[in-house]
């Protein structure tokens, strides 16, 4: 559940943290920075983080949002955590392909497939 002015909806299920975005458009730099900070806090809260970022509500994102996702990925790697992305709109998936970030991230069609991929 989102609390206060959080930009995220967060759900903890077993050892997996699932995150959805409040905003349909992840463009505003201040919001993107806040999203990065909130997810960083979630990563820090777990000794071996398993994080699923669900894009089901997202219509648009910018390269600044991609940058924050990369920073999150780097932090997860440093913590030996597991990061999964799911439910990415085809137009946004094209952005991942253009930037070749589809090679960097573990992207799944839906949350169920992403959850099943955690080890």
Decide if residue 106 touches other proteins (CB under 8 A).
no
Q: Which of 104, 98, 41, 40 is nearest to 70 (CA)?
A: 104
CB of 28 to other proteins, least distance (A): 5
Q: With respect to other proteins, which residue has the nearer C-beta, 46 or 62? A: 62
Decide if residue 48 touches other proteins (CB under 8 A).
no
Contacting other proteins within 4-43 (CB under 8 A): 27-30
- Rounded to whole angstroms, the Cα distance separating 76 from 3 reads 24
Q: With respect to other proteins, which residue has the nearer C-beta, 56 or 71? A: 71
- Rounded to whole angstroms, the Cα distance separating 51 from 59 reads 21
CB of 74 to other proteins, least distance (A): 6
- Rounded to whole angstroms, the Cα distance separating 70 from 66 reads 6
Q: What angle do CA 80, 31, 63 make, to 5 degrees?
A: 70
Task: Show the DSSP H helices in 8-108 as ranges.
Answer: 29-44, 63-78, 90-98
Decide if residue 82 touches other proteins (CB under 8 A).
no
Decide if residue 62 touches other proteins (CB under 8 A).
yes
User: Using CB under 8 A as the criterion, which residues of the chain lie in contact with other proteins when the complex forms?
Assistant: 27-30, 60, 62-64, 66-68, 70-71, 73-74, 91, 95, 98-101, 103-104
């Amino acid at each position: 559940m989102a609390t206060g002015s959080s930009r995220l909806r967060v759900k903890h299920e077993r050892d997996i943290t699932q995150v959805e975005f409040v905003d349909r458009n992840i463009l505003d730099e201040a919001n993107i920075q806040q999203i990065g900070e909130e997810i960083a806090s979630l990563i820090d809260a777990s000794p071996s983080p398993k994080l699923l970022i669900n894009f089901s509500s997202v219509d648009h994102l910018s390269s600044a949002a991609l940058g924050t996702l990369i920073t999150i990925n780097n932090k997860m790697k440093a913590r030996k955590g597991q990061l999964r992305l799911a439910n990415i709109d085809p137009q946004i998936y094209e952005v991942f392909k253009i930037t070749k970030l589809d090679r960097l991230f573990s992207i799944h069609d839906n949350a169920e497939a992403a959850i099943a991929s955690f080890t």
